[in-house]
Amino acid sequence: MTLEVDDLRVYYRTLKGDVQALDGVSFPLRDGEILGLAGESGCGKTTLGKALIRLDGRMKHVGGSVTLDGQVLPIGDDAKMNPYRFKHVSLIPQYSMSAMNPTRKIGRMVRELLESRREKLDLDELHNRLDLVELPKDVLGKYPIELSGGMKQRMVMVISTLLNPSLLIADEITSALDVSTQKAVVTTLKGFRDRGFVKSMIFITHDISLTNQLADTIMVMYAGKLAEKAPASTVVNAPKHPYTQLLISSLPEVGVRYADKRLTGIPGNPPSLLKPEPGCRFRDRCPLAFEKCAEDPPPVEVEKDHVVACWKAA
C-alpha cells in the first residue's frame, strides 16, 4: 500500500467562516496504481491534491491523516513536510507554463533546486529522461521563455519526477492543452509509472473521458466528499451513484448525433460549503432523493473495490 488517506478534512479560512472544501475523504492507493480524481469545479479535488503536498496559506488541516509508505505525513506543518516533498511526494502543477523561474537557465535552476535539497544531479539520468519526453539536451542551456508551451510542460514533468517519488500528483495538467497533446501527456505519464519513475499517481481532472484512458481507478468527488470510487471501467460503464450516472450520461458519445436528443447536463448547482446542511450534499439535484437522504450517506463497499456513498446504491 503506497498511500492511505483516512477521513481527511481540510477547510479554507474565509472572513465569513470555514469553507469545508474537503470533508472526510478516505481512500487507499496501491503501489503502481493510477487514480483518476474527477468532479466539477469546487468539488474539492484540487484541495485534496494540495493537501497531500502543500497547503496554501488559507487552508487548514482540520482532521484525518495521510500515510505514505508507512509514514504519517505531517501535512499541517509546512516545515516538517519539506523533507517529504519532491523525494516522496511530488507535484506537476496546473501552471506548468509559468512554473519555472523566467530569469534562470533551466539546467542551472534544476541544479540549484537539487543542491538546495542536498541531492546530486545525475546528468546522464536527466539526459535520458529528456530523451524519453523528446526534449533535446540543449533545453538545459535555455531560458523557459525560449521553450514552447508543450516543451515547458514536458520539462516540468521531468523535473517533478527526477527524484523518483512514491506519489505523484498531477493537477489539471491537461486543461490548457489541445486533444493530441493531451494524449501525449497521458502516454508519457503512463510511461513514467511503467518505468518506475513514480510508484503511484493521482491524476486530477474534470475530464472523465481522458481519465478513463489513463487511470486504473476513478474517484468521483462531489462538494468535498467522496461520491464513488471504482475501477475505471466500472465508473464509466456501470456507475452506481446518481451523480456519477448523470455525469457520465452528460458526456457526448462518439458516433451519436445529438440533433434530436439534446445533451442535458445536470440541472442545479453544488451547495455552498460555508455551512453545509447535514445529509447528502447532492440531494437537492438528485432525481432519486428521498427522506433518508437527510442523513449523511456513509461510503459503502458495494462490491470489491467499488465504494459508493449513496443510500440508494447500498
Looking at residues 46 to 105 of the shown chain, list those that interact with other proteins (rule: CB under 8 A): 53-54, 56, 81-87, 90-91, 93, 95, 98-105
Looking at residues 115 to 134 of the shown chain, list those that interact with other proteins (rule: CB under 8 A): 116-117
Residue 299 C-beta: closest distance to other proteins, Å: 29
Report which secondary-structure segment, H or E, holds 72. strand 71-72
Nearer to other proteins (CB atom), residue 112 or residue 295: 112
Residue 110 C-beta: closest distance to other proteins, Å: 10
- Cα separation, 44 vs 41, in Å, equals 8
Residue 291 C-beta: closest distance to other proteins, Å: 45
Q: Which stretch binds other proteins (CB under 8 A): 156-164, 197-205, 234-242, 284-292?
A: 156-164
Residue 170 C-beta: closest distance to other proteins, Å: 12
Taking CB under 8 A as the criterion, the residue among 30, 127, 142, 206 binding other proteins is: 142
Residue-by-residue DSSP string for 13-25: EETTEEEEEEEEE
- Please count the residues of the chain: 314
- Cell 459503502 sits on residue: 300
Q: Where are the alpha helices (DSSP H) in 18-136?
A: 45-53, 78-81, 106-116, 123-132
Q: Edge-to-edge strands of the sheet including 306-308?
A: 89-92, 167-171, 200-204, 34-38, 217-222, 225-231, 306-308, 300-303
280: nearest Cα among 263, 265, 300: 300
Could you give the C-alpha distances from 16 to 193, 274, 276, in angstroms and in order?
42, 8, 13
Phi first, then psi, for residue 93 (nearest 5°) are -80, 165
Nearer to other proteins (CB atom), residue 86 or residue 243: 86
Could you give the C-alpha distances from 127 to 17, 107, 122, 153, in angstroms and in order?
49, 11, 9, 16
Taking CB under 8 A as the criterion, the residue among 113, 132, 177, 289 binding other proteins is: 113
- Cα separation, 89 vs 52, in Å, equals 8
Nearer to other proteins (CB atom), residue 41 or residue 116: 116
Taking CB under 8 A as the criterion, the residue among 145, 254, 256, 259 binding other proteins is: 145
Taking CB under 8 A as the criterion, the residue among 16, 41, 120, 148 binding other proteins is: 148
Residue 57 C-beta: closest distance to other proteins, Å: 9
Q: Which stretch binds other proteins (CB under 8 A): 30-38, 60-68, 144-152, 269-277?
A: 144-152
Applying CB under 8 A, the site for other proteins has a residue count of 35
Residue 237 C-beta: closest distance to other proteins, Å: 35
Nearer to other proteins (CB atom), residue 148 or residue 180: 148
Under rule CB under 8 A, residue 156 binds other proteins: yes
Could you give the C-alpha distances from 119 to 97, 163, 200, in angstroms and in order?
25, 9, 22
- Cα separation, 54 vs 122, in Å, equals 26
- Cell 450534499 sits on residue: 281
Residue 147 C-beta: closest distance to other proteins, Å: 8
Chain contacts with other proteins (rule: CB under 8 A): 53-54, 56, 81-87, 90-91, 93, 95, 98-105, 112-113, 116-117, 142-143, 145-148, 156, 159-160
